[in-house]
Every structure is written in C-alpha cells, then in structure tokens.
Amino acid sequence: MNIAARHHPFHGMSAFPLTPADAAGRVDAQTLSLLLERLCEAQVDSIGLLGSTGTYAYLTREERRRAVAAAVECVGGRVPLIVGVGALRTDDAVDLARDAETSGADALLMAPVSYTPLTQNEAFEHYRAVASASALPFCVYNNPGTTHFTFGIELLERLSHLPTIRAVKMPLPAGGDIAGELAALRERTDLAIGYSGDWGMVEAMLAGADAFYSVLGGLLPYPMLAIARTASAGEAQEARRLDDLLQPLWNTFKAYGSLRVMYVLLEALGLGQAQPPRPLLPLDARARSEILAAVDSLLSDR
C-alpha cells in the first residue's frame, strides 16, 4: 500500500483508462496492465480504475475484482490507485468498496447509480453506508451525464462531514463559471475539488481546481500532463496553446462520446483490440476516420 497516496490521491492529473474486456465481459488483464504501465511510466498523479471510461457499470463483481487485482499487481504503489465502486444497490457498492480495499486500492470513487431517481437524502444515506464500509479516502463522483443525478451544494456539505469523504469530482459547470463554483464549494466544504470533461481542463486548472480527471489521459497521458502542469503553474498562454492542438479531438468527444472515441484510439495506438460493451456499438468507418485525423499528430509523437 502506498501510504502517502492514501492521504493525497485527489490532486493533479488523474488518468482514467479503459478496462479492456471480451464480448462476455471478461477483463483482459494483460492489456489492462499494459495500459497501466504506460501511465506509471508517464508519472500521472493518480489512476482512476473502473470509472465511467473503465465501464464499471457493465462488469460483474468478479470481473471488477480481477481488474483491481491486476491493477494493484501492475502499479505496485508507484501511482495512487483510485477504484470506482458504483453500483445500483447500496449493499453491492459496500461489497465492492470492501473488495477494493482488501485488494490494495489507495482510494475509492463512487457515482450514485440509480434507476428510480434518488432524492438528495437517499443519496446521502447511500454514500454514508458505502463510505463507512472502508477506511480508504473517498471521492464523490458527480456525473449527471450518466446518472441523471445532480448533487446540491447542501448535500455536498453534508457529505464533507463524513470522515472518509475527502474529494468531489465535478462536471464542468453549464455556465462556465468554474472559479465561482470553486469559491462556493470551498466556502461550504473542505473537499479536494476536481473536474472532468477534458476540453475544460485548462480553465479548471487555471481557476485553481485541485485535480482533473482525464479520459484521454488514460491512453495519451503526456499531452494531458503537459496541459495540467502548465495550467497549474499559471502559464495560461502555453496551456491554451497546447489545448488548441486537441480541439479537433475534443470535437469528436462531443460528437460521439469520449468512451466510444477511446476504443478507436486503443486500436490506433496498437495497444490492443476491444469493443465497447453491448448495447454500445463500435463507431462506423466515417467516425473512425474523423477521430484518426484529429489525433494524427499525437499518434506520431506519443
């Protein structure tokens, strides 16, 4: 266990890799380890295993355990390993949190997966139960794009008082006022505040976010680390210049969904072949050509 990581896993650029699996949902541990080794070599600040990009919601408990075991063996404490434990039922999420801790994870991340829409209080009780099942530091995953649930600031304040909840992963604010949102959250909570939505990394880090949780960073860590570190250092002009190089790729993320784009990039990088879990379908030839054109310069210098 990386003891330092238990206290500081929610800062800097966190890379979220795919979880390669076959059509039956069995995790390809060898390819997963290859992806994780690349992230360790790049010295990302943390790895977000089994996040949305890691298709946690499509994997059984057994396969999620296999993924965590493979990741812990590969990473070996070199980089903090944050493991997603979201599940529809609270008792299942509790089991997943305990599995992750037993396997050697450094921290936990959870979105409020639901079918019947949750109330704010139901979400609080769900988080309280899962967070109390493990001693690991815990990040609240506010991802309304997939869960259709939005955390009110009052709920985040309540959650911040729970002893193991240390961070929140936020979507980019609809109005674009990241600085204003950060100020409001810091006034009401002591959470480490991070964002996702790769095209917003520059503005989030320039505004003073503690972390950025990157989809592209899971396959191409170097350009995302460069953006994160220049922006964190206040080098706005250089950070925006680097981000401008990725605008064609961000357009494909928005058009097709970042997860589908990542499967195209996995093959293009020669790192493996995997299909998105059904009912998601691979992108057609036209979309693939658009993605490859957008990322061509990155593939030649990765």
The amino acid sitting at 292 is L
Query: Are the C-beta atoms of residues 42 and 35 closer than 8 Å to each other?
Result: no
Per the annotation, the verdict on 169 as an active-site residue is: yes
Instruction: Provide the pLDDT confidence category of residue 3 given band limits of 50, 70 and 90.
Output: very low
Per the annotation, the verdict on 56 as an active-site residue is: no
Average pLDDT over residues 44-55: 98
pLDDT given at position 296: 87
Binding-site annotation, residues:
53
Residue with tokens 């210049």: 241
Residue 191: HSE in the Cβ half-sphere, 13 Å Cα cutoff? 32
Q: Look up residue 25 and give its two tokens.
A: 């949902």
Residue with tokens 């990725």: 246
pLDDT digits (tens, 9 = 90+) for 27-39: 999 999 999 999 9
Instruction: Provide the pLDDT confidence category of residue 6 given band limits of 50, 70 and 90.
Output: very low
pLDDT given at position 301: 52
With a cut of 60, say whether residue 107 has pLDDT above it.
yes
Query: Are the C-beta atoms of residues 260 and 8 closer than 8 Å to each other?
Result: no
d(CA 220, CA 299): 9
Active-site position among 56, 58, 127, 169: 169
* Domains contained in the chain, CATH given: 3-233 (3.20.20.70)
Task: Tell me which H or E stretch contains 171.
Answer: strand 165-171
d(CA 285, CA 165): 44
Closest to 128 in 3D by CA, of 118, 138, 114: 138
Average pLDDT over residues 283-299: 92
Average pLDDT over residues 17-32: 97
Average pLDDT over residues 116-120: 97
pLDDT digits (tens, 9 = 90+) for 130-174: 999 999 999 999 999 999 999 999 999 999 999 999 999 999 999
The amino acid sitting at 6 is R
pLDDT given at position 302: 52
Binding-site annotation, residues for pyruvate:
53
Average pLDDT over residues 243-272: 97
Closest to 96 in 3D by CA, of 140, 134, 45: 134
Instruction: Provide the pLDDT confidence category of residue 298 given band limits of 50, 70 and 90.
Output: confident
Instruction: Please tell me the pTM assigned to this model.
Output: 0.95
Mean pLDDT for the chain?
95
Active-site position among 56, 115, 127, 141: 141
3-state secondary structure of 7: helix
Give start and end residues of each alpha helix (H) in the chain.
3-7, 29-42, 61-75, 90-103, 120-131, 144-147, 153-160, 178-188, 201-206, 221-232, 236-244, 247-256, 258-268, 285-299
Task: Find the length of the chain.
Answer: 302
Rg of the Cα atoms in the chain: 18
With a cut of 50, say whether residue 89 has pLDDT above it.
yes
Instruction: Provide the pLDDT confidence category of residue 300 given band limits of 50, 70 and 90.
Output: low
Instruction: Provide the pLDDT confidence category of residue 297 given band limits of 50, 70 and 90.
Output: confident
